[in-house]
């Protein structure tokens, strides 16, 4: 039986946070599906020091890449596909170059802006003098996933922003877009994605004085009100069709612009005036059974086996 090497983030289950622990659920899920597809799955925590020798010894047909963090940093996640490329073994998901483009939020925003794709206005500590222009801002990490370290506090003055940014390295200020939130998943080879059914995050029974954002509590704390009050919705009214078409087109444009491959997710906010903005590009988003990407594939009528087989085919050219 041909071997499939499944690499996941190396975390200590005794000290890991909920978002890090999710890698074990992902790896277990992928192992089960890969086995059903006729491969012999081998799970390994990824280490830059060990991986090359492990790959040589195991000699897998392909690598399923679930590595989101390297040496404790999401910004180093590109090291996994870079190492895989050097071994010559095909691997699933986005390439090193795609990870580099998308991982740094400020660099990604510059790429989007230069391509004429809407993204919320942003400032860093170095350019606060550009002016706030009457806008309200959230302070976000530029190198970790958006919910990590995100606090539902709006900043409206230069002094407030300066204090917030000085207390946190690798953070930036992003204009808060009051409106709707969408997560749009896509699957496919480079330059030829299929946009999956669009999902809106509905803030149900939300406190009136609380910002409608998916922060860490909403995404990862299963005991929180926010977790249960952020509901994924795939059903839309007819009057949303023009907006949905715009979101699909923007998602496809992002796929091509960032040279995405295999699977990805683009997160959007839509203003109260109906203007869509790209929040961030997620290369290789979570694909555990309860993740948004898998929910979108199921909505599209795809089984788990069909989804994983297609990711392998589109990434590795293996049927």
Q: For 254-266, what is each residue's pLDDT tens digit?
A: 999 999 999 999 9
Residue 67 lies in a domain: yes
pLDDT of residue 61: 98
If asked whether residues 15 and 160 sit together in one domain, one would say: no
289 and 186, same domain (yes or no):
yes
In the predicted model, what is the mean pLDDT of residues 23-47? 97
Asked if residue 204 belongs to a domain, the reply is no
Question: Residues 47-59: what's their mean pLDDT?
Answer: 97
pLDDT for position 115:
98
111 and 129, same structural domain? Answer: no
d(C-alpha 55, C-alpha 51), whole Å: 6
Q: Tell me which residue has tokens 């499944």.
A: 6
Residue 270 sits in the same domain as residue 295: yes
The answer to whether residue 214 is domain-embedded is: no
Higher pLDDT, residue 88 or 213: 88
Residue 290: exposure state from Cβ atoms within 10 A (0-12, 13-18, ≥19)? exposed
Query: pLDDT band at residue 149, thresholds of 50, 70 and 90?
Result: low
In a domain, 227, yes or no: no
Residue 148 has pLDDT above 70, yes or no: no
Which CATH number fits the domain that encloses residue 283? Answer: 3.30.470.20
Digit-coded pLDDT (tens) for 158-192:
899 899 888 777 889 999 999 999 999 999 999 99
Residues 309 and 184 in one domain: yes
- Residues 293 and 285: their CA atoms lie apart, in Å, by 7
| Domain range enclosing 43 | 3-91
Instruction: Decide which of 206 and 266 is more confident.
Output: 266
Question: Tens digits of per-residue pLDDT, 281-317?
Answer: 999 999 999 999 999 999 999 999 999 999 999 999 9
| 161-164, long-range: CB < 8 A, 24+ apart | 161/123, 161/128, 161/132, 161/137, 162/125, 162/128, 164/139
């Amino acid at each position: 039986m041909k071997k499939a090497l499944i690499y996941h983030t190396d975390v200590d289950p005794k000290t890991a946070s909920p978002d890090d622990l999710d890698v074990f659920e992902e790896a277990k899920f992928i192992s089960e599906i890969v086995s059903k597809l006729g491969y012999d799955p081998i799970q390994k925590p990824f280490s830059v020091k060990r991986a090359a020798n492990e790959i040589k010894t195991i000699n897998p047909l392909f690598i399923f890449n679930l590595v989101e963090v390297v040496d404790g940093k999401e910004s180093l996640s590109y090291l996994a596909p870079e190492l895989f490329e050097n071994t010559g073994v095909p691997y699933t998901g986005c390439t090193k170059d795609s990870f580099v483009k998308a991982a740094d939020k400020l660099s990604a925003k510059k790429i989007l802006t230069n391509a004429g794709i809407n993204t919320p206005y942003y400032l860093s500590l170095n350019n606060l003098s550009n002016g706030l222009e009457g806008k309200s801002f959230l302070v976000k990490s530029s190198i970790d996933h958006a919910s990590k370290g995100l606090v539902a506090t709006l900043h409206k003055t230069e002094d407030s922003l300066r204090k917030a940014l000085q207390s946190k390295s690798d953070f930036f200020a992003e204009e808060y877009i009051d409106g709707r939130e969408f997560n749009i998943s896509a699957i496919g080879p480079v330059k030829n994605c299929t946009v999956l059914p669009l999902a809106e995050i509905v803030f149900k029974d939300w406190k009136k004085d609380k910002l409608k954002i998916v922060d860490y509590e909403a995404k990862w704390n299963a005991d929180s009100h926010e977790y249960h009050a952020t509901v994924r919705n795939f059903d839309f009214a007819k009057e949303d069709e023009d907006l949905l078409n715009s979101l699909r087109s923007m998602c496809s444009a992002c796929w091509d612009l960032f040279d995405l491959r295999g699977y990805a997710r683009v997160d959007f906010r839509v203003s109260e005036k109906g203007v869509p903005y790209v929040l961030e590009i997620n290369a290789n988003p979570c694909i555990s059974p309860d993740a948004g990407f898998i929910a979108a594939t199921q909505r599209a009528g795809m089984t788990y086996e069909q989804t994983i087989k297609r990711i392998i085919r589109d990434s590795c050219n293996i049927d």
